[in-house]
Structure formats: structure tokens, C-alpha cells
Structure 1
Amino acid sequence: MYHYRQALVRMRQGESDRQIQATGLMGRRSLGILRRQAQAHGWLDPARALPSDQDLACVLQRQKAAHPRQRSSLEPHRQLIEQWTSEGVDGTTIHAALKRRHGYTGSYSSVRRFLQSLAQTTPRVTSVLEFAVGEAAQVDFGKGPEIIDVQTGEVFKTWVFVMVLAWSRHQYAELVRDQSIETWLGCHRRAFEHFNGVASKIIIDNPKCAITKACYHDPQVQRAYADYAEGYRFLISPCPVADPQKKGRVESGVKYVKNNFMPLRQFRDLADANRQLMDWVMQEAGNRIHGTTRTPPLQRFVETEQAMLKPLPNRAPECARWATAKLHGDCHLQVDQCRYSAPWRLVGESLDVRLSETTVRIYHHHELKAIHPRLTHAGQRHTIDEHLPPHHVAYKMRDPQWCLKQAEATGPYCHRFIHRLFENRVLDRLRAAQGVVGLGKRYGAARLEAACQRALHFDNIQYRAVRVILEKSLDQQADPQQCFDQMSDAYTGRARFGRDTRKLFTKH
């Protein structure tokens, strides 16, 4: 209204539209419209007072209403477009859907202009979230720099983990190589130790390492993260889906790290990058004048918020995650490409596995069934003998040394027989040795000793030979050497052409 009133004053002073335009008040076209309205209402008469702003606005609005703008070709679809816009659908997607479903022939520029007009008529209203001292911390991941390890030459991508205290804006930042559950929990622990305290509430997005099912009303939290929250005594507060504005302070914190720390820096490796990042957090970032609080974040933290945080627990919660795995027929389950044994009676069952930094615990219906050391290399296996079936354990325990020890207790011939079995360098004779030793339970040690003696005499070093001797009771007959000598004497007396070998080469 100020410009219109100034233009009317100049018109009443006799200036032309060209002269008024040169002052920059408004263009020739608008001045022509205003002059016609002024002449019609008598505003150019110097003897009359200028109209009030309200009267002037009413006349000009009626003028605009009498000449409405051209109706948009998208007006018939206004309600549908408003619905799609409220759901966050992109403009190009709206244009493609209108063409596909409703035969729209207009250009994307028409859709863009229509969306701009909707945004002007229905502005988005927001409110600033306020937090008490020590009430909340906000957490998020952002894309980090690509690092080249100068020692190994490895090139790898990184992520930046940022936790910002909502009141003081003091932050903790760390570069990591992944967004796994172990990394997520480890970063939380190091952040709490950096602050020397825990905020009452942790506001997060919906990453898979923390939330298994994102939902507005009933989100499902990772079991490991829930255990961590219980140990550190903080509440998990996930943001609604696709609504990161609820944690705008850490969103700004991630951008601040990416725009102010990462550019124009060189890193030797991941450890060197984190050292530089922590120095930057405690010096430049912590001592800057914050744009909202107008106070250095580190100063607000040290002077006020640090004392209001919850104290750290005497013993930090174990950094562990949960997994579910099926117990296979070999009495082992596989987690992270490593295999761990569990009781053989649970074969085919799905078991809960809790993996910490040093141990692996296996549960069945919340009952602990096995504890293993954490394996670090893919393909490794850890077996507890008690988890195997009895006959598997028996076979595994009856090694060659066990067989020799049992045979020695039976007798010298049995020990010698077993020793001869293991002298075979081509065939594995462990089962044969186990079978020979096992015959002692059925026939007794004395008969087994005699059977081994007979088999050794005839140099028949086989399990079957000992078994047949015992089955046919040949071990209870006379000494095999004595029987052989008697048979030799009887044969010599009845031979038709037999001669005494002592006289064979004697001269007569």
C-alpha cells in the first residue's frame, strides 16, 4: 500500500507514468491501472484527501477479481494432487501417474507450477522442540569420507556416527566402517564414556541395527539394543517413519561434520581420521558460537549439562547381539560363518544365539544350553564332546592311545596284536583295534589274550581272525606250537620216502 499511495501522490503532483516508473515504485502497466481507478474514484483531486489503506486495498482487490488468472489444466485433479503431496510423492511421479491414469497431456512444468501454488496457499507450519537439561540426546549416521590406508593400500568407505546432546549441542563423533549392531552399540558406549554420563532419552531414526520394524505407534527394537538401554537406563525414542525433522539437531550436526571437518583433510588410516575428528570436536566444534544458543556447546555442557546426566553404571553392559540359527544334523549351528555345537537332542530346532565380544551363548526357550569362545575367522568350528550322541563320543574318545592302553591291561599278546594293527601304513585300523578291545567285554580278558596269541602265531593280524578264534573256541585248544610239533613227528614216521635231514648230506 505504501507504493500505491506514493504513486497517487506523484500523480496528484502532475507527474506522468513514465516519470513515476523511473523512480522504481512500479511498472507502467500497474501505474496505468492505478491511474484509471484513481480517476474513477476522484483520488487525483488535490482538494480531496487520499483514500485509506483499507479503501485502496478493497478497490484493487475488486480489480484483480474482475480479471482472474487463467485456470490451470490441473484444477480438476486438485484434490488428488493435494493427497499425493501430503503423502510425500515426488512431482515427477505425480506427473507420470496423471498421464498413466487420467490421460493428462500437459507438461511437467505445469505440475511444478501447480505444486508451487499449493505450497504458497498451504504453507507448512512447524514448531521447535524444546528439551530440558540432560533430557535427550539425538543419534544418527551420515556418509563419511573414503579413506586409503597408507600401509596396506586398502581403499574403503566410512560412515560418521554422531550423538548430539539436545540441550547443550555438545556432540560426539566417530568414523566407522559399517552400520552393524556391534558398531552401533560400541559407538554408544564410547559416546557415553566421552560425556561421562547418559541422557535420559536417546532419539534415533529407524536403522536396522536398532529397530527391526519401523512403526508409528508400536516399533520393534533390536533385542541387543533393548538390553543395552536397560543396562545404561535410557529410553529409546524412534522418530516416526520418514520424519527426520524430529531429530533436527543431530541432522544439523551430521551436516556440520560433513561440511566443516571432512573437506581438505588427509587421513593415514581410520585411527588417524578418528584422532583428527576428536580433536576437531573438542576444539573447533566445541568452542564455536552456536547459531541458536549463541554460546559455545562445550561451555554449556561443562558448566550445566554434564552434571545433569545419569551416571555411568559400575559395570558397562556387555556389547552383544542376538541371532537365530537352526541346529544341523552334525550337532552344530552356524553364525557369522563359524560353527558352534549344541546338545544333539535339539537337532532341527531354532536356537537363540547371543554373541558378545568374547563368548557365544546358545539358548533354547530362554534356557542356556551351551557357552563357546567367540571364533574370529570364517570356517572355524568349536565342539563340546558332551553335545554329541553317546556313540559318537565313544568313537571319538577311543583313539589309538586308548586302544593300546586297554590292550596292555589285557595282556602282552593283546598289546602286541593292537600294536601290529597300527603298524599298517596304508589302511586306518582304528575301528579294527576298537573291535578287538571290545571283544574282551564279551569273552573276557583271558580268552582274548589267548586268541591274540594264536592269531599272532599264524601271523593273521585281522579283527576277523580274533573273532573267529573266540567264536569257535580255538583259543581253548592246546598250544599252537606244541600241536604243530606233534603233527611234524607223526608225519615223519609214516612217510614212504622220508629221510632224516641230519643224514641227508652225510657220507657213508
Structure 2
Amino acid sequence: MKSAEEIMEILNAYDLTGSLRDAGELAGCSPNTVKHYVERRAAAGELVQAVQRPMLIEEYLPKVEEWVERSKGKVRADVAHDKLVALGYTGSERTTRRAVATVKGSYRAGRVRVHRPWVVEPGMWLQYDYGDGPVIDGVKTVLFVAWVAWSRFRVVVPLRDKTMPSVFAALDQTFRRLGGVPTYVLTDNEKTVTVEHIAGIAVRNPQLVGFAEHYSATVLTCVPADPASKGGTESSVKISKADLVPKDTNLLEEYGSFVELEAACLAFCEKVNTRPHRLTKRPPVEMLAEERLRLHPVAMVPHTVAFGTTRQVPANTPMITFESGQYSVPHQLLGATVWVRTHGVGAGEQVIVVHVGEDGPAEVARHARATPGSPRIDDDHFPPQPEGPLERRPRAKNPAEAEFLDLGEGARLWLVEATAAGTSRMRVKMTEALALAKLFDPVEVDWALGHAAVHGRFAKADLSSILDHHASRPAAGEHRAGETPH
């Protein structure tokens, strides 16, 4: 085998002499060698290729092509090999794998989907999708993820379910965060959007049509089972789940409440919308400020048809009545109007309360079904309650009482227990305790008062007796030798 330099010398010698024999003498090789390289150069290198020998599988290739076509390019090579053996094929499985790979490559060559860059106009497109959220209180949540195509602005709203009222509330919140409504809204073919398909055309949900008309937007659905038609929001869902759902990769702790998840979603949106996007090299929040000029105004009154029936929260108690049951709502909604609906059936039926505020509709309460006479109450819906008969705390009414209570918790406990025991001459004994506090350490006097309260010793000399006994005891760690022999 000649090197490249030797081949060039042979060819140069032939070009110089025009004779195979003379060129061989100049290059130091045989005329046949000169002839070989001259012919190879004339054939444009085709003589370099090895001779293709017929393979055993060639006569079976039409059958392999048939199987690849029938399986739409998914047939496995080991399955094809077993079928070929049954037909009389005697070649190796390695040859079969190579043949199947070649046929699959030819099959896919004419079926590759070519993606053309999507050049969008400001204010035209918004896409939304869902992702599996974290589990809170044993219930799996949902992440509603919206993505504005031009500015790449993201909105993530946690939901408790994917029912139509929850989706409508999330969309309303999204529009208000954006500061406008885009022309088109693209999503999947969920039941909340598409009822059925006829001749490949989606039949819209009538309630969604009313929602879209209310906000002057057009809701479109992507091609079924084709996530590539809304790749922007698909990527946003992936990023949101990676940052918000506790996993081994992000070392997040479990969320203690739904409120914590809402705060985490807001922090995530703040982070991703204020840093430069890898394609536009600009923060989405800056681009949204420009795109907002092309958005339609958001309706002043949210679309509330799907939220249920209205109820007025009383002005003095945060409880509403719905279908013979009572349910609590946050006390901040006293006197406000809320919407109530049910979700689920049987033992899992829930009553959901929605309030429409400045930021749009928001779920404010979710209870299990109540029965008459047994209201559903959430303690977090009520402010701190005033003291009841069982929880009375001493409050000073004059300087003498204030000075006594300032001794500490022992003095407060003594006052509560002494009054409950009907102790006489209470004020005289309180004055004596203050006098002892000037003679002894006030901390010790407070301890003695607490000790007297626990053991029910409210007589006149009990407090001084406890102090004397305590003072006569040896200090901690001190050991005194007694006179009694052991």
C-alpha cells in the first residue's frame, strides 16, 4: 500500500513521461502499479471502493420493508430476525439488525417533520397547559402554566383541580397579570375546551365560547397528540415542574399549605421573567411592556357564570349557607359577595367558594359537604377570638395591681387560683407579696407565688413560710454532712 506522497510521485512521473514503463523507472515501482493509480485517477476514485458481495438477506429485504411499513418504522430487529428464520433465512442476527436499521432509515427519510421557525407578532398568541403539581395534605395539585409567544412571559398559577371554573379563574388571573388579552389562546383538547371532534374539526364547549366572547379572545386547540404545535408552553411546564415540584434534583421540602405553593409560584415567575431569555437576550418583563400596547383590554367584570351561585357573606360572621349547610369563609370577606359550587359526588363531594377581587377570581374556601346543624368551619378563617369564661387573663386596673402582676407568671397564676378558691383579704396579701419582693429577690417571690398557687396555700403566712423554707434549703450541688452516723 503506497502512501499519499508516493502515489503523487508516481502520477507526476507518468504526467512527465507519458509512459508506464518510464514512469515506473522514475518512481521505483512496476509499470502495473503505475497503471493502477493512473486508472484510479481517471475513474475519480471509484476503484478504491471494495467490491460489494451479495448478502444472504438481500432476497428477504422486500419482506423486511413490508414489516417496517406495516409497523410505521417501529418493528424490532429481533422480532424481524425470528420471522426471517421461520421463512428459511440462515444469516446471523447481526446482519438482520443492520438490514432493519438501513430500511428504517430509508423509511424515516421521507417522513421527517421539518420545523419552520415561528415568527409571531406582539399581542397575538398565548398558550397554556397543565403540569402535575406537588402533593399537599395528601391531595395532588395542578400547575396552570401560561406562556406569551412574543415576549416569552410566563404565568404559573397553582390549582386544586382542572375543572372549568378553576381554569376560567386561572385564565382571568393570567390576563390581569399581563395587563391585557391576546388575540388567540392556544391549548390542548381538554373536555373543558373541546366536546368532541367531527371530521377532524373540534366542537367547542359552549361555556368556553361564552368565556372567550366575554374577553374578546379566540380559543384554538392544537392538533391532537401533537405537543410540537405548542412547544413554548410545553417547555415552560417542564421548567416549572423542575423548580416547583419537590424532587431529588432540586432538594425542595414538602409544602406545608396551598398558600406556600402560591407564594413559590409567584417567586418562580418573578425569577424567570426578570432574567434575559436565551433567544431574545432580553428579560420577558421588558418585552411584555412593549407587547402590552398590542393587547386587548381586560374585561372589568370577570366571567362568573361557571363559578356557581352567589351568596352574601353576613356583616358579623364569616359563614354562608348553601343547600341547607353552613360553611366558613375568610373573615376579611365580611359583607362581600361570593360564588358557591359543588365538585365531585358521594363521599368525595366538595363545596368550593370563590371570591372575585381586584386580581380576579380566586378560590377562598373548600369544604366537605356539611349536614344541617353541623357546619363546616376552618379555624384559619376567623381572627383571634376574645377571652371566654375558661380563658380569663388578669389585666391590671390600677398601679398596685400592675406592680403585682409585673412580678411574673407565678403572680398571675396565684391571682387566678386564689380568686377561684374564694380567698379573703386578697389585696392585703398582694401588698404583703410586694413587700417581700423588696426584701427578697423578686424572682424568688414570683416562684413562691406560683408554688403557693399550685398547692393551694393562700393563708396569711403561707407565702413567707414558702420563702423561708426555700431559702433554708442547700444550694444545688451543695452537700452538708449530717451528725447522724451511717
Who wins on radius of gyration, i.e. which is larger? 1
What's the TM-score once normalised by structure 2's chain length? 0.50
What's the TM-score once normalised by structure 1's chain length? 0.48
